Amino acid sequence: MTRALFFVDYPERLALAERLRDAASENGDDLICFTNQLSLFMLGRRRGLKIHLCKTHRGGDLPGFSKHNHEVRGGFLTEPDARLFYNAVYHVGAELCRQHSIDLLINWNGAHLHSLVCKALSRDYNIPLVFVEIGNIKGKMLFSPHGSGSDLQLHPRPPSSTSGQLAAWVEAYRNERLRQAVIPQAASNLKANYLALIDRIGWGRLPRSTSHSATKKLTSHALRRQYLAKLESLTIPTPREDYVFFPLQVSEDTNLTTRSSVDNFEGIRQASEIAASLGSRLAIKIHPAERSGPFLRELYLALKSRAFGDIDMVRGNAAELIIKSKHVVTINSTIGVEAILFDRPYTALAPVYYAGWDAGDIYWYANEYLLNFNLFSPQETDAAVWPAIVARGEVLKTASRGAH
């Protein structure tokens, strides 16, 4: 029997935990969860999860803490609050590893404060750690021992496909993206988490997930509504001819807060220089999942004052905008993957996992490395994917044995 441990930090992760629990159970395995949020603990217990609550740990600092994480770098937690969070989650995680003889750690994204905990538990208790992330290919998820996001370290193998199969797959992917107005994760990211109000009851006995006040959050939501409307007044339906396309990334995304020294504003500046060097105009597009009101206000004021020169802000399907562009610029998002598939030249302003890849490498990644797990639609095939998730952890066990 494999016993896996998974940290739950959002309602969406709770739903994922239920599916992983069911998949593990059908294979004779077990999933145990832990969380610092009272609302998720209560919901998890109601839904039959084996879930444990991380209470504030008053002991000294525990090993493995670093300020290089999304919560601190993104300004969501002060360093003292982050240390309290880390100590509480590590303390409970370590206890669960010992009591239940955990065989596998599963962690969302890899850049969060709870990710630091899982990395420390993996090191201290010699347990394989698999990172989970949206695969950005419909119906696929990344379950990898090699990192996630732009931290992923992966060397593609030759794809088991003919040139005809590759061309047909790229064409099918292109057609699907052209039909897709809004990516599913964008709609999911914009959902308000009202359960967070319950969690404030436990502050004091439970470590905070954010140092922000409720007033600050409400102000951000109000600013978002106000400045999205103002930005719409600056937006044109389609770009002018011969443009360089730079789609903005979510300003509070981990790929920017922890995995890049370039933010959206610096990205616009560099993309403007690239466009000028190509004799083209720059067209930018707001990410559909952007939630930060202060960011949108700063963007509006910068564009209104022409701080970046003469650039266009556009709306529309990102895939179509890539296909019709002269050149694509990204900081470190998977827009670069689509530029490769749509045969458009691109520039990445920060390290990306797909550097040097071609369409064949992406075919291998999508069809032979990512797993068939649709985050947005529960499938009967979840149980069949579980052994592959466990096997990803076994890769690390084998590597560790080989090192000794």
Mean pLDDT of 288-313: 95
Q: What is the pTM of this model?
A: 0.89
Domains 3-134+371-403 and 163-181+212-354 fall in the same CATH topology: yes
Looking at residue 9, the DSSP 8-state letter turns out to be -
> Which tokens go with 93?
């995680």
Other beta carbons within 10 angstroms of residue 328's beta carbon come to 26
* CATH number of this structure's domain 163-181+212-354: 3.40.50
Nearest of 143, 207, 145 to residue 389 by alpha carbon: 143
Mean pLDDT of 153-166: 80
Q: How far is CA 271 from the centre of its chain?
A: 23
Q: Does domain 3-134+371-403 have CATH number 3.40.220.10?
A: no
In the chain, where are the structural domains located? 3-134+371-403, 163-181+212-354
Q: Summarize pLDDT for 182-219 with one digit per residue, the tens.
A: 666 665 554 555 566 666 665 566 787 787 766 777 88
Mean pLDDT of 284-295: 95
Nearest of 357, 373, 78, 134 to residue 253 by alpha carbon: 134
Give the pLDDT score at 188.
Answer: 53
Q: pLDDT confidence of 262, banded at 50, 70, 90?
A: very high
